[in-house]
C-alpha cells in the first residue's frame, strides 16, 4: 500500500472516530439536560404543593424563578419555558419513563398530547424508529396514530393477526401535503407520481417503518404484454415488496382488479423464495366502502385501498373520516 493511500485511510478513520465522539457528546448533553429539566419540574411542583393558594402561588413562583434564572442563564428560562418544564414532570412523573434517547425538543412536542395512550405511542415510535424532531412534529400534525387506527378498523376478523400486523404499516389516508399540489383540484396520476419521486424522502417518511424505494414504472413483461407498475418499494420489517398503483379518481372494481393482477404477476415473476407475499396498495383520491366490501379487497389480507389527501387534516376532519369508514 502506497504512503498516500495509507494517509487517506488513516484520515478517514480519524474522521470517523471524531464524528462518533461528537455524536456521543451531543447525545450525553441532551440526555443530561432532559433529566435536569425533569428534576427542575419536580422541584417546582413540590414547592407549589406547599402553597395554600396553589394557582396564585404557582404563577408567582414561576415569575420569580424566571426573573432570577434568566439573569443567571439567559432568556431560555422564561416563565413559558418553566411552565413547559413543569408540565414535563407532570406528564412523566416516573423518572424511569423518561427516555434519554430523546431530546428536550422531542419532549416539548410530546407534552402537548393529553391522551396517555397516544402520547406513549409517539414516545415508543420516536425511540424505536429514531424519529427526528421534525418527523415527530409532522406525524403528530398529520395524526399518524389515528390513521393507523382507521386502517385497523377495516379488518372485520381481528383474529387475523397477520393482517392486523400488516396494518401497522398501512395508513388511511396518506397525507401528501409535501407535494405542494393544490388541494382543491383533480390531479393527473402522472403529476402525483412525479411529485412523489421529486419528494421521495418525504414520501418514505409518510409511508412509515422500514420502506425502501425500488422502482418507478416497473416493467412486468409476460409472453403477450408489457405492464408498468407505478411505484415499487420493499419493506424490510415485513420482508416483502409493496407495489403502489395511483388512481386520481374514486375507487372502482376495475382498479382493484388491476392491482390484484399486478400483485399476482409480481409474486410470480419478481419475488424470491425468501420474500413474503407482495402487498398491493391502491392510492386513490377517494375510497368506496361498498366497492371494497364486494371485491377481493374484503377477501385478501395483502390488498389495500387508501385515500390520499393533499393537505394536513384537522382532528375533526379525521374523526369524521374514521366514523364514515366504520359505518
- Residue 241 DSSP class: E
∠ CA 184-186-191, rounded to 5°: 115
pLDDT tier at 6 (50, 70, 90 boundaries)? Answer: low
pLDDT of 2 reads 55
**String of b and e for 118-155 (b: at least 16 CB within 10 Å)?**
bbebbbebbeeeebebebbebbbebbbbbbbbbbeebe
Give the per-residue SS3 of 42-86.
HHHHHHHCCCCCHHHHHHHHHHHHHHHHHHHHCHHHCHHHHHHHH
Q: Which 3 state secondary structure label does DSSP give 291?
A: helix
Quote the pTM value: 0.75
Domains of the chain: 3-98 (no CATH), 145-326 (3.40.1350.10)
Q: In what side-by-side order are the strands of the sheet with 174-175? A: 174-175, 303-309, 279-286, 240-250, 226-235, 211-221
Furthest CA-CA distance within the chain = 85
| Nine cell digits for residue 208 | 412509515
Could you tell me the three cell numbers for 290?
A: 361498498
Return the pLDDT at 118.
93
pLDDT: which is higher, 193 or 11: 193
Q: What is the pLDDT of residue 250?
A: 85
Residue 76 has pLDDT above 70, yes or no: yes
Rounded to an integer, what distance in angstroms lies between the CA atom of residue 171 and that of residue 193?
Answer: 18
pLDDT tens digits for 153-206? 554 443 344 444 555 678 888 999 999 888 777 788 999 999 999 999 999 989
Chain position carrying cell 415527530: 136
Give the per-residue pLDDT at 157.
42
Strands 279-286 and 240-250 turn out to be parallel
Torsion of CA 98, 31, 110, 74, to 10 degrees: 130
Q: What is the pLDDT of residues 282-303, one digit of tens each?
A: 999 887 776 766 566 766 778 8
Does the pLDDT at position 33 exceed 70?
A: yes
Q: Any idea which of 180-184, 247-251, 316-320 has the lowest mean pLDDT?
A: 316-320
Amino acid at each position: 500500500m502506497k504512503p498516500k493511500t495509507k494517509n487517506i485511510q488513516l484520515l478517514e478513520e480519524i474522521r470517523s472516530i471524531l464524528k462518533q465522539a461528537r455524536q456521543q457528546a451531543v447525545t450525553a448533553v441532551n440526555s443530561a439536560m432532559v433529566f435536569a429539566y425533569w428534576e427542575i419540574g419536580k422541584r417546582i411542583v413540590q414547592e407549589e404543593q406547599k402553597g395554600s393558594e396553589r394557582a396564585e402561588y404557582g404563577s408567582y413562583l414561576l415569575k420569580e424563578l424566571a426573573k432570577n434564572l434568566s439573569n443567571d442563564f439567559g432568556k431560555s428560562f422564561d416563565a413559558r419555558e418553566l411552565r413547559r418544564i413543569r408540565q414535563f414532570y407532570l406528564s412523566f412523573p416516573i423518572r424511569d419513563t423518561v427516555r434519554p434517547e430523546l431530546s428536550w425538543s422531542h419532549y416539548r412536542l410530546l407534552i402537548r398530547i393529553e391522551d396517555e395512550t397516544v402520547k406513549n405511542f409517539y414516545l415508543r415510535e420516536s425511540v424505536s424508529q429514531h424519529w427526528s424532531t421534525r418527523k415527530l412534529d409532522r406525524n403528530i400534525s398529520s395524526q399518524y396514530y389515528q390513521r393507523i387506527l382507521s386502517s385497523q378498523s377495516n379488518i372485520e376478523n381481528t383474529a387475523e393477526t397477520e393482517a392486523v400486523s400488516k396494518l401497522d404499516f398501512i395508513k388511511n389516508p396518506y397525507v401528501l401535503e409535501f407535494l405542494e399540489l393544490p388541494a382543491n383540484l383533480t390531479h393527473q396520476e402522472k403529476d402525483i407520481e412525479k411529485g412523489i419521486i421529486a419528494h421521495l424522502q418525504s414520501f418514505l417518511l409518510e409511508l412509515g417503518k422500514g420502506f425502501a424505494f425500488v422502482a418507478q414504472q416497473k416493467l412486468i413483461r409476460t409472453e403477450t404484454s408489457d405492464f408498468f407498475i407505478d411505484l415499487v418499494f420493499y419493506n424490510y420489517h415485513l420482508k416483502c415488496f409493496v407495489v403502489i398503483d395511483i388512481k386520481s379518481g374514486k375507487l372502482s372494481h376495475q382498479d382493484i382488479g388491476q392491482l390484484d393482477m399486478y400483485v399476482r404477476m409480481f409474486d410470480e415473476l419478481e419475488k424470491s423464495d425468501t420474500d413474503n407475499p407482495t402487498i398491493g396498495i391502491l392510492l386513490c383520491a377517494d375510497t368506496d366502502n361498498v366497492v371494497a366490501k364486494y371485491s377481493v379487497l374484503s377477501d385478501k389480507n395483502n390488498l389495500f385501498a387508501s385515500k390520499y389527501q393533499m393537505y394536513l387534516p384537522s382532528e375533526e376532519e379525521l374523526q369524521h373520516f374514521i366514523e364514515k369508514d366504520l359505518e
